[in-house]
């Protein structure tokens, strides 16, 4: 049996919170890139932004899969 990721989230609220964090992170990243393009912090922020965007995608995919499963069950 394959392992499945289990999400204990409140769908839209969690995605909204993560999206807000990602937006803030992207703003800081843009500011830092314009001021210090060679800074190690830029790479760290990029990594964090990618991680958050993947988390958002994973939640959205899990929700879509659950919705499709419900439709197919009917």
CA dist 67 and 20 (Å) reads 24
Indicate the domain borders of the chain. 42-73
Q: Give the model's pLDDT for residue 10.
A: 55
Q: What is the dihedral of CA 48, 51, 20, 7, to 10 degrees?
A: -140
Q: Say what the pLDDT of residue 2 is.
A: 45
Task: Return the SS3 of 3.
Answer: coil
- DSSP alpha helices (H): ranges in the chain? 11-35, 40-73
| Model confidence pLDDT, tens digit, residues 2-44 | 444 444 445 566 888 999 999 999 999 999 888 887 778 888 8
List pLDDT tens digits, range 34-68. 888 777 888 888 999 999 999 999 999 999 999 99
């Amino acid at each position: 049996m394959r392992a499945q990721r289990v999400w204990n989230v409140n769908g839209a609220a969690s995605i909204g919170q993560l999206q807000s964090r990602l937006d803030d992170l992207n703003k800081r990243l843009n500011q830092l890139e314009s001021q210090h393009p060679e800074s190690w912090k830029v790479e760290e922020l990029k990594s964090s932004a990618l991680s958050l965007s993947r988390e958002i995608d994973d939640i959205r995919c899990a929700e879509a899969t659950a919705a499709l499963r419900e439709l197919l069950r009917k």
